Amino acid sequence: MELLSWQLGLPATFACLVFGYLLGSIPFGLILTRMAGLGDVRKIGSGNIGATNVLRTGNKKLAAATLLLDALKGTAAAAIASIWGIEAGLAAGLAAFLGHLYPVWLSFKGGKGVATYIGVLLGLAPVMVLVFGVIWLATAKITRYSSLSALVATVFTPVALYATGYGKVALLFAIMTLITWIKHRANIQRLLSGTESRIGEKG
């Protein structure tokens, strides 16, 4: 019952969703590449606005900045809203994640969400970021697939959250994990066919 109960009122929930979505929808990858004079990042590589595609411009610092900012917008949304309670943080965190995936400013075509997923996790259950990181690194060391490492880490995250007493947060991350897998369906197809690029491998 505790897992499903929701006590945040409708107006407050709506406000948190709008706040989180607007913050999450800021396309930092596009903004930074344009400011750097590198043009529209959506016209290269995968057409994605995330850090992985920004890296295809050859600018590692810009890619790192994109990764950090895409994560921090999720952290900010969840942490700020959590001042009014965990349910407010959950609503804002989910909305920030969805805002990154489907930004209204870019015809709802955004990133794949892993950085923002981690950022929301940092805002709601900071210790669990270490769990995510360890699983990602272990999988990456064994397989050298970045996408697979992220997918495996997202599966274990809600399990670890639930096991350590973060019931409502675990439910949120189970939903976010499902969405993340859907957004990575092309990567999953390439992994199954053996055509996915490995870490450090030239395209």
Residue 3 lies in a domain: no
pLDDT above 70: percentage of residues in the chain: 96
CA dist list (Å): 16 to 39, 78, 83, 182: 33, 9, 11, 25
Asked if the model's pLDDT at residue 75 lies above 90, the reply is yes
| pLDDT tens per residue across span 83-134 | 999 999 999 999 999 999 999 999 999 999 999 999 999 999 999 999 999 9
Instruction: Give the chain's mean pLDDT.
Output: 92
Calculate the CA dihedral of residues 178, 182, 183, 184 and round it to 10 degrees: 100
Residue 24 lies in a domain: yes
Lowest mean pLDDT among 2-6, 45-49, 160-164: 2-6
Residue 73 lies in a domain: yes
Residue 179 lies in a domain: yes
Burial of 151 (0-12, 13-18, 19+ CB in 10 A): buried
Asked if the model's pLDDT at residue 71 lies above 60, the reply is yes
Calculate the CA dihedral of residues 174, 127, 72, 183 and round it to 10 degrees: -20
pLDDT above 90: percentage of residues in the chain: 79
Residue 1 lies in a domain: no
Question: Which residue matches tokens 């990042």?
Answer: 41
Residue 199 lies in a domain: no
Instruction: Return d(Cα 181, Cα 114) in angstroms, integer.
Output: 10
**Amino acid type, 101:** L
Segments forming the whole domain that contains residue 75:
10-193
Residue 185 lies in a domain: yes
Counting the structural domains of the chain, the total is 1
Reported confidence tier of residue 10, pLDDT bands at 50, 70, 90: confident
Contact 131, 160 (CB under 8 A): yes
Supply the pLDDT for residue 3. Answer: 54
* Alpha helices (runs of H) in the chain, residue ranges in sequence order: 10-24, 28-35, 51-55, 60-81, 86-101, 114-124, 127-143, 146-163, 167-183, 185-193
**Amino acid type, 185:** R
Residue 125 lies in a domain: yes
Average of per-residue pLDDT across 23-37: 95
CA dist list (Å): 123 to 5, 37, 180: 21, 32, 18
Other beta carbons within 10 angstroms of residue 142's beta carbon come to 11
Supply the pLDDT for residue 1. Answer: 39
